[in-house]
Structure 1
């Protein structure tokens, strides 16, 4: 069977090839009746539409935006915050008539998505700046926006005030009277503050926690892998058994869930024996008993703003880095340690905002 083309449809309808092309790409140039006649004829002939590659070549744009991950996509969607971020990005791209293309780690050197997939620009989500995917996108010199990372002045970013949110959580524990405080987080890879860290978010949260604690408070820190719950539980168990802490600041609400499991295993009651502060305020925190004190971030707004920034870059407009605020939400997982004097501003149930 011969391939159906624009010319085939034009011959059938009795119009020019350009008129048929306008029916698909410039409908405002035709009357509604003429466009309907052309589309009906195209459907009868089995025409599937203009060739996407040819259209992209003609427009100079593919209409697709990449989203780069460092790890497996399955791991990203196991994390509720990451899944919500991707959903917000996809919805906003769809609203703007753009398609989302996931750029996973390459299976081998023969196909590297960040190098080989045709896209107009890319969002780089919480990626190690030294990763091969980031390097390939930079070499392609396409518009980039970083999410939850800092690639320097040349790449605009959309991120939250990780340091300020962490500072608020630590200050809340101090106001309750805690002086022996633990941290359960991801190894940032570099905590010098010079240049981008492998895990920028962890570095910023550690820095924020340390700011109000200073040198007068005993601090213990335990590192755990990001995705494996059992490994985080093991790290939390070591923290609780090797250090006499009365409170723990957690990298995320998922890390706080692991800490709850470890506390239960070693006989530490929350909040009577141990106060816990999470980060993110995803619905997971409300399923814990007691409900989790945490730092709220607007994940959906972050995704929408990242897409807006990239869309502006694609239109040739200048874009600057945006930092979204965070908010401490006080629930029932934090309380004064036994015998502590409490700052009135730290009353349980009263949120404070950063």
Structure 2
């Protein structure tokens, strides 16, 4: 068996102290460039990659990683265009800090519970049920937290977009075009599938509630009672099925407001299946303005949110919170509300003549 390579091995090889070798890896600014390169070259020759990360984390009292907690499965982070854009912006903002990003589910039914067991310096909580055990564990661990698309909580930094204002503008756009038979297609993993009445209407999650409030602000003011349906989940097929509940009926709506662009795309496909032309017979409005919105045909009228800015602001807030926590300072719990903008494209038009 080959002898174990340690810091002392490199020190003896180069003729310097063990601390100097350690500084070459952890405090490079304390060495000249030439000396550090000699040490690193010696390390490469004997196959030494650096101090053990776990031991280094224990000594420094930091893990060098932050978590982001998702209510959905981790697959959602790689398949949802809004989620992937958000994660990319967060990772880019964290890059210069040296902090790694760890994806965590909110699962609590296994031997390992990520929010309880994974080492991290802080965490982003993204569109999660605030009563979930994952959020509870993170809070009990006293980790610095930042909420994204969550109801703001005193003492915790939060980043949201103005969902309500954006949704209100979307509904008003349809009303100004002359629509009065308007359907709402709601999304969310916690809702039951089917047609619903205004009396039975409940939604889960901060963004869902705010978008519904915005839609109702405009529709109620105009005296319009919407037709309502909830899809069973967040997949394209589930959006198509939910849309068919509204479209496959004699009194179908002439316009639909959808929780997201992905949901609106499902509604567009359902309309196509039924031979309903968009926008001649059905106007569609999405939310988010993800890349899909401009690519599908007809191009989708939607509400734009700046997902990149949301990710950057959230990551910066978390790095500040971690720094404040390490320094023993109170965390600056700023609640940021980013603007939204109605983007009118080709999927909306006046209703067909009666």
The alignment's TM-score, normalised by the length of structure 1, stands at: 0.90
| 1:269-294 Cα shifts (integer Å, max 9, x gaps) | 11111111111111211222211110
Deviation at 1:246, TM superposition (A): 1.2
Partner of 2:64: 63
2:244 corresponds to which residue? 237
Deviations 1:238-260 (A, max 9, x none): 11234431111011111111111
Following TM superposition, by how much is the alpha carbon of 1:311 offset from its aligned partner in structure 2, in angstroms?
Answer: 0.6
Equivalence for 1:301: 309
Unaligned runs of 5+ in 1: 191-196, 341-354
The alpha-carbon deviation at position 17 of structure 1 amounts to: 1.2
Distance of 2:210 and 2:32 partners within structure 1: 58
Deviates more, 1:288-297 or 1:225-234: 225-234
The equivalences for 1:265-344 within 5 A come to 265-316=273-324, 317-339=331-353
After superposition, residues 50-89 of structure 1 pair within 5 angstroms as 50-89=51-90
In the alignment, the residues of structure 2 paired with residue 102 and residue 230 of structure 1 have an alpha-carbon distance, to the nearest angstrom, of 26
- Equivalence for 2:210: 204
Aligned-pair Cα RMSD in Å:
2.1
Q: Is the 8 A contact 1:129 1:151 kept in 2?
A: no
Deviation string, structure 1 residues 18-64 (Cα, Å, up to 9, x no partner):
11111111112112221111111111122120111121122221110
Q: 2:66, 2:123 within 8 Å by CA — same for their partners in 1?
A: yes
Residues 5 and 47, structure 1, Cα contact 8 Å, conserved in 2: yes
2:164 aligned partner:
163
Corresponding position of 2:124: 123
2:180 is aligned to: 179
Q: Is the 8 A contact 1:312 1:319 kept in 2?
A: no
TM-score, normalised by the number of residues in structure 2: 0.90
- Kept in 1, the 8 Å contact 2:189–2:232? The answer is no
Q: Which of 212-221 and 80-89 deviates more? A: 212-221
Report how many aligned residue pairs link the two structures: 336
Determine the C-alpha separation between the residues in 2 that align with 1:246 and 1:6. Answer: 72
Q: Which runs of no fewer than 5 residues in structure 2 stay unpaired?
A: 192-202, 325-330
